[in-house]
Amino acid sequence: MDELSASQKQANSIMEFSENKPIYKQIVEHFYSNILTEKWKEEERVPSVREIAVLIEVNPNTAMRAFHELQENDILYNKRGVGYFVSKNALKKVKEIKRQEFLDIKLPNLFKDMKQLDISFEELRDLHSSLKK
């Protein structure tokens, strides 16, 4: 079995849980983040269910639930006896999932907040331009 790199171990050991979302969903989000930032590349081995459970101090059943969701979404696949790997096209799939979430949930909330706080699109554009510098 392949050894986990130090960066893989470190990436999993830094996780703070929110009470607003189930822990397994937060683990899924953590995997998405590691894939989006390309810390974990396609066809690369990721920590096992047990390793994740130990590293982030959760019940293995909770970790398994996250892995199950990731497999259902074709983000991870299991090589029997070897471990879990990032699927081919996982980066593209994660981007699609996160993009849809942004468009369906985060963007409407942003627009609502902008309206309530009287923030114009011009102000937002100016702020965006200043942050890009």
Domain check: are 23 and 81 in the same one? yes
**Tens of pLDDT, residues 18-62:** 888 899 999 999 999 999 999 999 999 999 999 999 998 899 999
The pLDDT assigned to 43 comes to 96
In a domain, 1, yes or no: no
Domain check: are 111 and 52 in the same one? no
Domain check: are 13 and 34 in the same one? yes
The DSSP 8-state label assigned to residue 88 in this structure reads: T
The pLDDT assigned to 5 comes to 52
- Domain count across the chain: 2
**Residue 123 and residue 20: Cα distance in Å, rounded?**
30
Residue that wins the pLDDT comparison between 23 and 10: 23
Domain check: are 48 and 16 in the same one? yes
The pLDDT assigned to 12 comes to 44
Domain check: are 106 and 127 in the same one? yes
**Residue 53 and residue 64: Cα distance in Å, rounded?**
9
In sequence order, what DSSP letters do the residues of 25-60 get, joined into one string? HHHHHHHHHHHHTTSS-TT-EE--HHHHHHHHT--H
pLDDT above 60 (res 8):
no
Domain check: are 71 and 123 in the same one? no
Domain region containing 62: 6-89
Contacts 24+ apart (CB under 8 A), 95-101: 95/36, 97/32, 97/73, 98/32, 98/36
pLDDT band (50, 70, 90) for residue 68: very high
- The CATH number given to whatever domain includes residue 66 is 1.10.10.10
Q: 3 by DSSP, 3-state: which? A: coil
**Residue 118 and residue 101: Cα distance in Å, rounded?**
25
Domain check: are 80 and 103 in the same one? no
**Tens of pLDDT, residues 85-107:** 999 999 999 999 999 999 999 99
In single-letter form, the type of residue at position 56 comes to: I
Domain check: are 51 and 103 in the same one? no
Q: For the chain, how many residues are written?
A: 133
In a domain, 118, yes or no: yes
pLDDT band (50, 70, 90) for residue 7: very low
